[in-house]
Amino acid sequence: MFDFLQGYDVLGAFWMTVKLTVFSALGSLVLGTLLAAMRVSPVPLMRGFGTAYVNIVRNIPLTVIIVFSSLGLADIFGVTMGASDDFKLQGFRLAVLSLVGYHAAFVCEALRSGINTVPVGQAEAARAIGLSFSQTLRLVVLPQAFRSVIVPLANVLIALTKNTTVAAAIGVAEAASLMKTMIENEAQTVLIAAVFAFGFVVLTLPTGLILGWLGKRLAVKR
């Protein structure tokens, strides 16, 4: 029944999916936190930039962003991420760049909702003892905000894991691209799709369960 799996590096393809996910998750967490800080900062220009970034990027389909990163950024503007004559590496880096840019907007919004759960009194007290804006954010507000948005962030992470499949559109050899190859050769669409669907469930289900449990544990009880 599953003999069509022979001769294909399914694990290798999923390893590529994992790599894309991990790099993009770390990147978008950093960029998303920065954006969230911008959106709550007292500087109007920063607030404006953060708001504009989130609203623009969030409303462009990921496929468009990823394909543009390859056909536009790389081919026309020469942004090859230091891999101009190695398409495999170039595709991977461009995919991570696109995934980071796209999911940072979602991370930012999740975090901002977390910042809104922190009572205003906390920030006022921090200001009263003489902390600067960035100290207030770093030491008082963000730690509490993060603890309350672990579950929404887990949602973003699960979406990100599945969204890595779009990288197949620019030739990154991850799970979805191997799936295309196998369907092309084997004429076993349903079984192959089921195997890959199962593979993604194996990746995302524990993520959701563990982070859900962690979110409950760490939530600030008010």
State the nearest-atom distance from the C-beta of 187 to other proteins, in Å: 4
Segment 157 to 196, residues that bind other proteins, using CB under 8 A = 168-171, 177-191, 193-194
Closest CA to 13 of 179, 174, 163: 174
Residue 106: partners with Cβ closer than 8 Å, 6 or more residues away: 28, 32, 58, 156, 159
State the nearest-atom distance from the C-beta of 221 to other proteins, in Å: 18
C-alpha–C-alpha distance, residues 157 and 163, integer Å: 10
Asked if residue 1 binds other proteins (CB under 8 A), the reply is no
State the nearest-atom distance from the C-beta of 26 to other proteins, in Å: 26
Is 175:17 a contact under the CB 8 Å cutoff?
yes
C-alpha–C-alpha distance, residues 111 and 180, integer Å: 36
Compose the 198-217 pattern: x for residues touching other proteins by CB under 8 A, - for all others: x--x---x---x---x----
Choice between 53 and 92, CB closer to other proteins: 92
State the nearest-atom distance from the C-beta of 101 to other proteins, in Å: 19
Asked if residue 45 binds other proteins (CB under 8 A), the reply is no
Choice between 45 and 184, CB closer to other proteins: 184
Choice between 141 and 167, CB closer to other proteins: 167
Asked if residue 75 binds other proteins (CB under 8 A), the reply is yes
Choice between 40 and 150, CB closer to other proteins: 150
State the nearest-atom distance from the C-beta of 11 to other proteins, in Å: 18
Choice between 91 and 101, CB closer to other proteins: 91
Segment 3 to 32, residues that bind other proteins, using CB under 8 A = none
Contacts with other proteins by CB under 8 A lie at 67, 70-71, 74-76, 85-87, 91, 168-171, 177-191, 193-194, 197-198, 201, 205, 209, 213
